[in-house]
Structure 1
Amino acid sequence: MTPEQFALQTSEARARIGAEVGVRLAAAGVQSVRSPGLTLWYLEQFLTLADSSYLIEQIEHDRQPSTLLSDSPDEAFRTSDSCNLNRWDERVRAIDLRICELMGLEERSGETLQGQRYAPGQYFRTHHDFFHTDQSYWADQEKTGGQRTWTAMIFLNQPEAGGETAFEAAGLTVNPRTGMLLMWNNMDANGAPNLYAAHAGQTVQAGVKYIVTKWFREGNWF
């Protein structure tokens, strides 16, 4: 799709969600960094070392080669391992609910936390978290909550080198910091997909990088 076609996909409901979450995070004193096209919100030490270690253990136990939601997947596009965490694990759910409470979003609109592991040399090329409605997968996603609005990502550790999250179009790069929660809106102020939210998991140069990611939908995911 062209930028013009994305810009036409406006939504009052998605615009309202974006505005309400932004107001809530600001009122909670969550720090932010802004570029002309994107605002990143971050909270240091959101997770304790013990909780981070627990999630890393779950990822190591269940990880599989990461997949892509695309009509033409490229195996070289995303080279990490990943897994869905057990949503009903008491400790995992407590973390999940803390994210929902902080952002003011309903638990039922949030997808299950996904754990991701990047070994040295692994990466995730530039991509969007929102769904491309011209892809065949959209029909199913539309029935299960619709478009992805917000993303919440927690860095579980800090690799020795590399592994930054780079929002190249927005001119912003985030270095992994253990326990830090990073959040952004995948929609623009009009509720249309925001191309400035494109990001990449840059290559890990040394050590191993662990993160968990939670995506929220405009409707009810479950």
Structure 2
Amino acid sequence: MTKVHESPGEVLQSHPGVQRVPSPRIDMFVAREFISAELCERLIAKIEAEHRPSTVADYNGDDVFRTSSTCDLSRDDPEVAALAARIAEYSGIDPAHAEPLQGQRYEVGQEFKAHTDYFEPRGPEFEKYCAVAGQRTWTFMVYLNSVEAGGATRFKVIDKIIQPEAGKLVCWNNQRPDGTPNPATLHHAMKVRKGFKYVITQWYRERPWG
């Protein structure tokens, strides 16, 4: 059982095979084979069955800033619920703080330009998104396939590129130790050059969701 005083980073590092990205500017971890190839395939099928154009908070006037598709995965789906529970247990984060799981789908040429997952405190939509559950804290992203070409995730500030690999988990804390948003989490879902890219994303908030 997770000790009350353990941070998500400490809990993550207690698991075999979890690697901490060696940067003093970000709490970030990578784990290969977090989920099975079979589960990846079933999740891809769910995303393919029901996806919509992705949206952004605080629209910046760039109509091609985020060109992917998004799938809102149902908590009533047993596999989705089991995955959400697994991520919560793996991280030690209270599952009540989790947003609903989302899937993302990228075709050739699609990307999500450099952005952060936290909501900009001075942004016009900050209150809309954060009034109830507060700011985003941790991001957990699982790649569902190994992209034929392109599709890497680039963290420019810390000079780190994560290559897509089926079942690979990448997670990071969107906040600094003092609780303020960490701009070093800036990342770019780079353009897919060949094939498709599928990921699952789990975000957590400061307070219980909803």
Contact preservation (8 Å) 2:52, 2:70: yes
Residue in 2 aligned with 1:21?
8
1:150 to 127, 134, 138: 138
Residue in 2 aligned with 1:87?
75
RMSD: 1.6
- State the aligned residue count: 206
Alignment of 1:143-222 (within 5 A): 143-222=131-210
How far off its partner does 1:123 sit?
0.6
CA distance in 2, matches of 1:48, 1:195: 32
2:53 to 65, 80, 83: 65
Give the secondary structure class of the aligned counterpart of 1:34. coil
Q: 1:20 is aligned with what amino acid?
A: S
Listed one character per residue, the Cα deviations across residues 49-87 of structure 1 (whole Å, up to 9, x for unaligned) are 111111111111111111111144522100111121112
Q: Which one has the bigger helix percentage?
A: 1
CA distance in 2, matches of 1:95, 1:203: 27
CA distance in 2, matches of 1:24, 1:180: 18
Q: 1:106 is aligned with what amino acid?
A: D
Show structure 1 runs of 5+ residues with no match. 1-15
Give the TM-score normalised by structure 2: 0.93
Q: 1:60 is aligned with what amino acid?
A: E
Listed one character per residue, the Cα deviations across residues 150-195 of structure 1 (whole Å, up to 9, x for unaligned) are 0000000011010000000111110001001111000012111111
CA distance in 2, matches of 1:185, 1:39: 5
CA distance in 1, matches of 2:162, 2:100: 23
CA distance in 2, matches of 1:141, 1:181: 26
Alignment of 1:44-63 (within 5 A): 44-63=32-51
Cα 1:202–1:215 change in 2 (3 A) is: same
Q: Percent identity?
A: 37
1:121 to 104, 109, 119: 109
Contact preservation (8 Å) 2:9, 2:27: no
1:34 to 5, 8, 22: 22
CA distance in 1, matches of 2:206, 2:66: 26
CA distance in 2, matches of 1:102, 1:88: 21
Segments ≥4 residues shifted beyond 4 Å = none
